[in-house]
Structure 1
Amino acid sequence: MAFKKTILAVTGPSQGDGDLKLAADLCNEIGAHLAVLVVVIAAPPPVGEYAAVVSQAWLEERQADENLLKKRTAAVSAFLAGRALSADVSSAYPEAGWADETIGRRARYADVTLIGPELLAGETLKSKVIEGALFSSGKPLLLVPEGARPTLKPKRVLVAWDTRLESSRAVRESLDMLIGADEVHLVMVDPVEDEYHHGAEPGADAAAYLARHGVKVIVDRLPSSNHSVADVLRRHAVDIAADLVVMGAYGHSRLRERILGGVTKSMLEDPSMPILMAR
């Protein structure tokens, strides 16, 4: 599997250049191209009986948004021009209802979409990038929280394994990194030993698959002990000094995760270290 050659970073007018610098450093680490998408989500049109009265104000708001988009795009271009880096910048002004699809279409032409600390600190644009990357691109998402030191050449990796299709996709998308790591911990929490779940020996089949690719894999079967799966994974990642967590995203439906919670939702809300997610 070829190493990742294009990283997509999404930014908006309220972000600085911190996430871009982080993305540029990752590109320099592996000799990749940096694609930057500048996004401003369009102001929604007025509705109701006062729509005609406020329509001029709405038009002015949209014009102001477009000016912000041009200004931010120019600033990003200047940032990239000052670096010895293969890069390009594009912009989009989508309506809120299809902003995730717009971002997802752009992410299809990258190997991974990066969300850094500045974007994570936001709300609307962050959610659109997450949904676009995971549900509209077919490519993985890399979350980098504040204070983390990300690398695309990790030495220790925790792979959250639960036998679902999403976990398999995450392993496949990260295989090039797993091969180069010193240790890869295949972690299962409360594995179920039967043919419909983890098999007679939980983790054995996945470990054998990774080993055939030359991955130095260790199987860790952990009890939850009344803790959430997300908390168990976070704690174990710290215990093994993992540089990266690899996991599948939304093994359950988005609606179920939003209402009942889940591992994906918890990790998205509190990514304590770099996490590569795939679906």
Structure 2
Amino acid sequence: MGFKSVLCVTDADHSDHDVETAAGLCAEVGAHLSVRIIPALMLVLSYRPIRDGIPEWPTGRGQAMATLNNQFRQERFTLDVPRLERRSEKIQELLRAMCLSYDVDTDYCNLTGVGEVVRQRVLCADLTIVGPALLNDSIVGPVVINGSLLDTGKPVLIVPKRAEATLWPRRVLVGWDSRLEASRAVREALGLLCAAEEVRVVLVGPKANHKGYGAKPGADIAAYLTRHGARVSVDLLPSAGKSAAKVLAQHAIDTSADMIVMGAYGSRRLRERLFGGVTKWIVDKPTLPLFLAR
């Protein structure tokens, strides 16, 4: 499908690089760019007044904490408004110079509410672009990525630092594992896969069976993509004791791929969060643009 509405999330303190990256990609395909500035506000988590050098719990502790939280939010909001306005004006000036269709807005919320705010925005977009500044933000970045992917059905394009991103990639590597998430990623990326000069469907350590990969692993998805006009080859790679993530990442480098397309959170979300997984490993250490869907 074509990407006609693209979302870019940035913080008030981030550089312009993420917005510039998203704007350049929108210019490639003639898409509208929606920029959302989210200055996530951290909650005050505790309050212990000191009297005579001894910590003291106040009467009505919960009420005291709520009062402090509200006061903190109001003070931060008052201080941030001029900074947010300057940031918004700067982004609009940048996008006007590129002659793009765009809109810029600010969502002011607690960190705990960022995921839901992003999810609501993503539902009305074709693609969310996560640039290096957001990707390297250890506080807001993971919340935005999860909010963009979970319960939205929409794809995310992660663009790491120094990567050359394009929505017209020449060589694309598809990480395939016969799961629903991988199928959705392929469907969402179908337009760019069909336009690519070369698409490599990669399976790591597949075993032929009738319940998973089938009698000939990779044949079904290759046939599906071929019917849509994609130029497809299938690579069956041994794991050789390495994780699937490392094998995929290395093969992408070896084949000079411009992008990796794969499903996100294929295993149980909690298990991936605790013990890691293909998605987490590649998101944490991306080497080239990564197109994710769930």
TM-score using structure 2 length = 0.90
Whether the 8 Å contact between 1:108 and 1:137 is mirrored in structure 2 is yes
> In the alignment, what sits opposite 2:35?
36
Whether the 8 Å contact between 1:12 and 1:72 is mirrored in structure 2 is no
Given the superposition, is the C-alpha separation of residues 53 and 31 from structure 1 closer, same or farther in structure 2, using an over 3 Å criterion? closer
Whether the 8 Å contact between 1:100 and 1:136 is mirrored in structure 2 is no
2:266 to 244, 251, 272: 251
Whether the 8 Å contact between 1:43 and 1:61 is mirrored in structure 2 is no
> In the alignment, what sits opposite 1:169?
184
2:250 to 235, 240, 255: 235
Alignment of 1:62-141 (within 5 A): 62-141=77-156
**Equivalent position amino acid for 1:43 in 2:** M
The number of aligned residues is: 278
Alignment of 1:147-226 (within 5 A): 147-226=162-241
Q: Secondary structure at the match of 1:169?
A: helix
Q: Which runs of 5+ in 1 are unaligned?
A: none
C-alpha offsets along residues 154-190 of structure 1, whole Å, 9 cap, x if unaligned?
A: 1110000000000000000000001111110000001
> In the alignment, what sits opposite 2:288?
273
Q: Separation in 2 of the partners of 1:29 and 1:110?
A: 17
Given the superposition, is the C-alpha separation of residues 136 and 99 from structure 1 closer, same or farther in structure 2, using an over 3 Å criterion? farther
C-alpha offsets along residues 31-70 of structure 1, whole Å, 9 cap, x if unaligned?
A: 1111111111123155454635686455313432444433
Given the superposition, is the C-alpha separation of residues 214 and 57 from structure 1 closer, same or farther in structure 2, using an over 3 Å criterion? closer
Whether the 8 Å contact between 1:27 and 1:34 is mirrored in structure 2 is yes
**Equivalent position amino acid for 1:219 in 2:** V
Q: Separation in 2 of the partners of 1:58 and 1:11?
A: 20
Given the superposition, is the C-alpha separation of residues 136 and 69 from structure 1 closer, same or farther in structure 2, using an over 3 Å criterion? farther
The reply on whether 1:16 has 2:11 as its aligned counterpart is: no
Given the superposition, is the C-alpha separation of residues 266 and 53 from structure 1 closer, same or farther in structure 2, using an over 3 Å criterion? closer
Whether the 8 Å contact between 2:128 and 2:155 is mirrored in structure 1 is yes
Rg larger in structure: 2
C-alpha offsets along residues 166-217 of structure 1, whole Å, 9 cap, x if unaligned?
A: 0000000000001111110000001121111101100111111111111110
Question: Structure 1 residues 171-180 or 122-131, which shifts more?
Answer: 122-131
> In the alignment, what sits opposite 1:146?
161
Q: Secondary structure at the match of 2:273?
A: helix
Q: Secondary structure at the match of 2:150?
A: helix
C-alpha offsets along residues 237-274 of structure 1, whole Å, 9 cap, x if unaligned?
A: 01111001000000112210011110011011011100
Q: Separation in 2 of the partners of 1:54 and 1:160?
A: 45
Whether the 8 Å contact between 1:16 and 1:118 is mirrored in structure 2 is yes
Q: Separation in 2 of the partners of 1:66 and 1:132?
A: 25
TM-score using structure 1 length = 0.94
Q: Which runs of 5+ in 2 are unaligned?
A: 48-60
Q: Separation in 2 of the partners of 1:33 and 1:55?
A: 36
Runs of 4+ that moved beyond 6 A: none
